[in-house]
Amino acid sequence: MALFGLIKNNTLPLTELSVLRTDVHSHFIPGIDDGAKDMEDSIALIKGMKDLGYKKVITTPHIMSDAYRNTPEIIMGGLEKVRQALKEAEIDIEIEAAAEYYFDFEFEKKIKEASVLTFGEKYLLWEIPFINPPDNMNQLIFEMTTRGYRPVLAHVERYGFWQRNFEKYEELADRGVLLQMNINSITGHYSIPTKKAAQWLIEKNMISFVGSDCHHLGHIELIKAAVKDKHFQKLLASDRLLNKTL
């Protein structure tokens, strides 16, 4: 049955997450941020993603100057250990790594030095504080785009200061920012305003990437509920989503 027919009948099976092919936002390298605690945890999480239908995960540990001082070397070293553990566990799924960069005083320096981890066609995943948008955000977006990066703003629907001001999302898109939505936002997991923002973004066809932002097995269980949501089903059928190109 075609994906459209499955969506129309609201019977989308979990295996249809394979239409995404790739998850672009997760925390699977053990012990380096607030995601997987150890290798056993990592393997359980990644197996859970495979069971959901994913063929590939691009895991994105936090890089934050005041909390998670990860480097490309730390992340890529951890990636190789995870790959080896997956091989030993005979779990057949592709895994790559980039990072989720926090907008802080070191981020601009990293961009200018070209010392950032990207995925795909120089996609650069970054996040901003949940309290207020940075004053110099537009300047840094300009820096990213002029240096050839394609900025991807993580979990854009979760920033409360834009949840009553949806035109800001359109301004970001006009500046060349690609918008990434967390799957579990559609369940109301984070908040009802976050859910409504996610629904609006889906209706306006503004989401370029959808990600699990998976930290623990509870997030995988929530994804199983999200798949049944009519808005998420519409998003899966979108010709705008870039996950499947990776």
Residue 2 has pLDDT above 60, yes or no: no
Residue 14: predicted pLDDT: 53
Amino acid letter, 85: A
Can you read off the two tokens belonging to residue 229?
Answer: 């949501």
Task: Tell me what the mean pLDDT of segment 79-89 comes to.
Answer: 98
**Looking at domain 14-245, does it have CATH number 3.40.50.280?**
no
Residue 82: predicted pLDDT: 98
Are the beta carbons of 143 and 151 closer than 8 angstroms? Answer: no
Check residue 214 and report its DSSP letter: B
Residue 4: predicted pLDDT: 38
Residue 246: predicted pLDDT: 97
Q: Read off the pLDDT band of 164 (50, 70, 90).
A: confident
Residue 53 has pLDDT above 90, yes or no: yes
Residue 106 has pLDDT above 90, yes or no: yes
Q: How far is CA 123 from CA 31, 104, 243, in A?
A: 25, 19, 11
Q: Give the separation between CA 246 and CA 242, rounded to whole angstroms.
A: 7
Are the beta carbons of 89 and 116 closer than 8 angstroms? Answer: no
Which tops the pLDDT comparison, 6 or 152? Answer: 152
Residue 238: predicted pLDDT: 86
- Enumerate the domain spans of the chain: 14-245
Which DSSP string do the residues of 175-215 spell out, in sequence order?
TTPEEEEEGGGGGTSS-HHHHHHHHHHHHTT-EEEEE--B-
Q: Read off the pLDDT band of 13 (50, 70, 90).
A: low
